[in-house]
């Protein structure tokens, strides 16, 4: 079965953190502790409703898979619902549903996560269930083979039948020359077909250990009670040796790449370009916070430079924007995209966007633009602290990608300290042709005419559910 997460996704991190407001303010004010077996635990109190969200995050994702075995992390995510030594296949989900809760899971390049949202008085129940499958997963070929078909069907529906997703996968493969981020999280079809039980079990036993996990609980619970429950259910699970996350380094990139896909299913062309960029953990980390603001100033919404120039003033695009992914364990990426208005040649819209990039690099950004972008982040996330899953996602993602609770809590003052000069410097450091990969999506209609439907933005790499 396909595991789809709740509305929204983990890419909201930057906007969510902005809710804390002025420098010196806190974000979620969590309680942090670690058990003797190495399990990190974060508690975020929110007593507005008698509800809690439990999330368990494992510090392993698609980029940690052995060569030639792409898709194991996501395949295992599916199989974690197939039963343990004490629970029958599907019993986990049935119990959660019977108790009025909802649950799901997700896999990314750098982590795998599982969560449940239940009434506060059912927290102990789901903690017992989650702790059980951390160590007691029981897999047989009879369980694995039907789920393999489900994963392959998911790949068919989410990637193979969608031209935008096909192009995104091909662009991702071209953007990275050596690093495993080039591989799709869901896996290549031929490798999914070849993954055997022994490989899956070995992956589970290697990475699914308390000392390689983070537990985040948000909602109507007090830290003292949560610690007692964590000690009761997770505490007895012994720590195990976990290998270091050794990944091939990306060599210097010396030439831009362009990937073009023509498909009869495409109704309107689109264009995107991405660059390798520092993350909060890797590369020139001093550029990370400025890049968050650059994405907002240059392509973040209807008041951004790109939208005003291409959509409002020149009327050559129906949509355009920018994005920044700085939450990776290794390097991140920065991207731009544009979809032309019906009847407007794609190259004209692209030329208009590239003109704006040239202006950006030549003239830089203004202090008032940076300040407005900062304020938009705050305005757009004003209710974020009230959402239990948001707190758990932000804190969990930070901890499994090399950041700390302190980093999350310090976000407001760090983003407030970014200057226009730093944003400009980050743009000039990152937006270089040699490290860029461009994706072009074109119609391939029988009559040679492009369709007139609205174009959607390019698919960015996101966790697979």
For 123, counting Cβ atoms within 10 Å of its Cβ (0-12 exposed, 13-18 middle, 19+ buried), the class is buried
Contact status, residue 256 vs residue 436, Cβ threshold 8 Å: yes
CA distances from residue 236 to 152, 217, 222, 428 in whole angstroms, order as listed = 37, 19, 21, 52
Rounded-to-integer distance, Cα 23 and Cα 37, Å: 36
Residues forming a β-bridge with 213: 58
Nearest CA-CA partner of 288 in 458, 178, 429? 429
> Tokens for 81?
């619902």
Q: What span, in angstroms and rounded, lies between the C-alpha atoms of 27 and 266? A: 42
Q: If residue 318 lies in a helix (H) or strand (E), which one and from where to where?
A: strand 317-325
Alpha-carbon distance values, 279 to 208, 270, 334, 346 (Å)? 25, 27, 10, 31
Among candidate residues 29, 45, 65, 77, the one labeled active-site is: 77
Largest Cα–Cα distance in the chain? 68
Helical ranges in 208-263 per DSSP H: 223-233
363 classed as catalytic: no
- How far is the C-alpha of 222 from the C-alpha of 34, rounded, in Å? 16
Q: If you search the block for the tokens 């062309």, which residue do you land on?
A: 269
Q: Catalogue the active-site residues.
A: 77
């Amino acid at each position: 079965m396909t595991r789809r997460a709740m509305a929204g996704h983990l890419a909201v991190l930057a906007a969510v953190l902005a809710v804390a407001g002025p420098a010196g303010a806190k974000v979620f004010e969590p309680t942090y502790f670690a058990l003797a077996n190495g399990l990190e635990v974060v508690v975020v109190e929110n007593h507005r409703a008698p509800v809690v969200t439990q999330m368990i995050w494992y510090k392993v994702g698609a980029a940690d898979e052995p060569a030639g075995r792409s898709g194991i992390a996501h395949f295992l995510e599916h199989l974690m619902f197939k039963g343990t030594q004490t629970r029958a296949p599907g019993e986990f989900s049935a119990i959660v549903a019977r108790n009025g809760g909802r649950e799901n899971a997700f896999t990314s390049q750098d982590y795998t996560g599982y969560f449940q949202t239940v009434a506060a008085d059912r927290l102990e129940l789901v903690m017992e269930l989650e702790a059980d499958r951390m160590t007691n997963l029981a897999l047989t070929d009879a369980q694995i083979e039907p789920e393999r078909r489900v994963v392959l069907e998911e790949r068919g529906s989410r990637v193979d039948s969608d031209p935008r997703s096909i192009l995104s996968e091909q662009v991702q493969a071209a953007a990275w020359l050596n690093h495993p981020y080039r591989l799709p999280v869901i896996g290549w079809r031929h490798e999914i077909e070849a993954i055997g039980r022994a490989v899956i079990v070995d992956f589970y036993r290697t990475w699914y250990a308390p000392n390689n996990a983070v537990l985040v609980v948000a909602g109507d619970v007090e830290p003292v009670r949560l610690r007692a429950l964590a000690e009761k259910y997770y505490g007895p699970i012994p720590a195990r040796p976990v290998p270091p996350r050794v990944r091939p380094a990306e060599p210097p990139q010396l030439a831009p790449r362009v990937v073009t896909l023509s498909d009869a299913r495409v109704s309107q062309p689109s264009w995107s370009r991405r660059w390798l960029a520092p993350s909060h953990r890797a590369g020139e980390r001093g550029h990370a916070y400025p890049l968050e603001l650059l994405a907002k100033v240059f392509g973040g919404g209807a008041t951004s430079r790109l939208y005003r120039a291409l959509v409002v003033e020149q009327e050559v695009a129906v949509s355009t924007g920018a994005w920044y992914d700085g939450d990776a364990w290794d390097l991140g990426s920065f991207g731009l995209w544009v979809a032309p208005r019906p009847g407007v040649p794609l190259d004209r819209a692209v030329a208009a966007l590239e003109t704006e990039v040239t202006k950006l690099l030549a003239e830089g950004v203004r202090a008032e633009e940076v300040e407005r972008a900062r304020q938009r982040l705050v305005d757009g996330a004003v209710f974020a602290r009230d959402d239990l899953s948001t707190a758990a996602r932000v804190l969990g993602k930070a901890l499994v990608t090399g950041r700390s609770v302190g980093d999350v809590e310090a976000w407001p003052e760090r983003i407030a300290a970014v200057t226009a000069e730093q944003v400009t410097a980050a743009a000039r450091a990152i937006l270089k042709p040699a490290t860029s990969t461009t994706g072009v999506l074109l119609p391939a209609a029988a009559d040679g005419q492009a369709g007139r439907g609205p174009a959607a933005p390019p698919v960015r790499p996101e966790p697979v559910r």
